[in-house]
A = this chain, B = another copy of it.
Amino acid sequence: MSQEGLLRPGIAQLRVLDMDEAVKHYVEYLGLEFVSKEDDGRVYLRAYDEFHRHSVVLREADQAGLDFFAFKADGQEAVDGFRKRIEDFGYTVDDVPAGEMPGTGARIGFTVASGHRIELYADMDLSEDAPETNSPMIWKTMPRGMRAQRMDHCLLYGPNIEEVEKFFTEVLDFHVPERVDMPDGAFAIWMTVSNKAHDIAFVKHDEPGKLHHLAFFLQDWNDIGHAADIMTHYDISRDLGPTRHGITRGQTIYFFDPSGNRNEVFSGGYTAYKDHPTRVWDHNSVGRGIFYYERQLNDAFLSVVT
């Protein structure tokens, strides 16, 4: 009991067009730690406040986007249980052997109705540079750049999000803190497997498998302002913000990595419990739901994805 099964987003594998530029962006500007570059060219990164070996994996490719988003489970038994439930739901599950990523155990993968690959795994080594656990300082070395504390969640664009919601809630045991309902059905859903306000979110979109943004958690609104200072200083392409989301109440900036993948840095947001009612937004208020201060969507929100 307590939190059982899936724990949290554990790995996001991103496609980037130029690895050197991408590493500079995520390490120098966002403030992630460089963990390793492996023979296949993939680069492994970790936020300073994460305990496990890596959380963001960069793969050089011709097209930007998200290869997959993986959730860490609390044991292999849980992963095996999910495999059965996923197959019972009708999805095909494939296996990724232990060691496909350094320090990482076996993973299972499958594609949900929105066209995104999701993976589950139970084992990853603790980082050699993990936060201290013996009479620790609050940080080992002073956080750098935008001071990202952890890879937090992603927002994905694709079709069939009602089925996606059904799958995540019935098979993977997520709950739904927030949703946007349009006259013709669900437009967007925010889901969590913990009591963070969101671990993953989906927006309805014709083209499958698209990434809207990958988000990183900052300490507070002051660090959001500091992140904005850094974006201008290093001429990082900014989409919108500093602002607040009505949905989740997070304080936020959207911006882009050099390959065009949208990033988010955010802080705040409420603590979600599954006995809290779902917050529901209608088509008249969706603009305020997404961008609380602007009270309307910008063009990029609905169209720019990778």
A residues engaging B (CB < 8 A)? 1-8, 49, 51-52, 72, 74, 78, 126, 130, 132-139, 142, 150, 173-175, 193-196, 219-222, 225, 228-233, 238, 241-244, 246, 249, 251, 268, 270-271, 273-282, 284-285, 288-289, 292-295
Residues of B within 8 A of A246 (CB): 135-138, 232
Contact A2 B225, beta carbon cutoff 8 Å: no
Having A7-B274, A8-B195, A232-B246, one finds 8 other A-B pairs with CB under 8 Å, namely: A72-B275, A137-B246, A139-B229, A220-B221, A220-B222, A225-B251, A231-B293, A232-B293
**Top 8 A-B pairs ranked by shortest CB distance?**
A1-B5, A135-B285, A1-B173, A2-B173, A222-B222, A220-B220, A133-B279, A228-B293
In the bound complex, do residue A289 and residue B222 qualify as a contact, i.e. CB atoms below 8 Å apart?
A: no
A219-B268, A246-B136 given; A4·B7 CB < 8 A: no
Which of B142, B174, B194, B285 touches A195 (beta carbons < 8 Å)? B194
Chain B residue, CB-CB nearest to A195: B194
For A276, what are the chain B residues with a Cβ–Cβ distance below 8 Å?
51
Q: Name the residue of chain B whose CB is nearest to the CB of A194.
A: B195
* Distance to closest chain B CB from A192 (angstroms): 8
* Given A244-B138, A275-B72, A195-B293 contact (CB < 8 Å): no
A-B contact pairs, 22 of them (CB 8 A): A1-B4, A2-B5, A3-B4, A3-B274, A4-B4, A7-B273, A8-B273, A52-B275, A74-B275, A126-B277, A133-B279, A136-B279, A137-B233, A138-B232, A150-B271, A196-B271, A221-B221, A222-B222, A229-B292, A231-B293, A238-B294, A242-B243
Task: Decide: A232 near B285, CB < 8 A? Known: A2-B175, A271-B196.
Answer: no
A90 and B275 alpha carbons, distance in the complex (Å): 30
Q: Measured between alpha carbons, how far is A134 from B139 in the docked complex, in Å?
A: 37
Q: Could you say which of A221, A225, A295 has the most chain B C-beta atoms within 10 Å of its C-beta?
A: A225
Q: Give the shortest distance, in Å, between A265 (CB) and chain B (any CB).
A: 13
A3-B273, A74-B274 known; A244-B229 Cβ under 8 A: yes
